[in-house]
Amino acid sequence: MASSPYFSLAVLFVAALGFGLTPLGLAWLWGRVFSPAKPNAVKNAIYECGLESRGDAWMQFRSAYYLYAIIFLIFDVEAVFLLPFAVAFTGLGAAACVAMLVFVLMLIEGLAWAWAKGVLTWA
């Protein structure tokens, strides 16, 4: 058995297992012998920010929030793509420029749609 090439690996595996399990076992033993458990309703509460939790966590969000996602895409993500476009502008070919214009036009279309829908009006 000791001649097996995997013997040292097995020894290391057992040592690693012991290294992890011994502190856990000692802690468990310590808890059993010395520290009495004193659970109560306040201690076992799920929310741990000092306040009592209210209601159900399984609530529904309005799907109307997709409007904000679209506006975010238009104004924020567009800027992320426009910046490298502006930096590399002088070195670009006609095909790249057209591709970028199509991209911007698509986003402008979204903006026009949002505008028509009245999303931009602060009410």
Partner 1 sequence: MAVDEGLKIELGKQGVFVTTIEELYNWGRRSSIWPMQFGLACCAIEMIATTMARYDLARFGAEVFRPSPRQADLMIISGTVTKKMAPQVVRLYNQMAEPRYVIAMGACAISGGPFKQGYNVLKGIDRYIPVDVHIPGCPPRPEALLQAFMTLQKKIDGQPLTGPDRPRFLDAEAQGEFPVPVQGEHDLEPTSNPGVWTVPVVIR
Q: Which two tokens stand for residue 118?
A: 């009245």
Contact between 54 and partner 1 by CB under 8 A: the answer reads: no
Return the residue of 5, 50, 55, 93 that touches partner 1, per CB under 8 A: 50
Using the Cα atoms of residue 46, residue 52, residue 56 and residue 62 in order, give the sign of their dihedral: negative
Binding footprint of partner 1, residue count (CB under 8 A): 12
- CA–CA dist 84, 82 (Å, integer): 6
Using the minimum distance from each CB to partner 1, give the nearer residue, 43 or 62: 43
Question: Between residue 20 and residue 39, which ones bind partner 1 under the rule CB under 8 A?
Answer: 34-36, 38
Q: How wide is the angle at C-alpha 58 spanned by C-alphas 54 and 61, nearest 5°?
A: 105
The footprint of partner 1 (CB under 8 A) covers 34-36, 38, 40, 42-43, 45, 48, 50-52
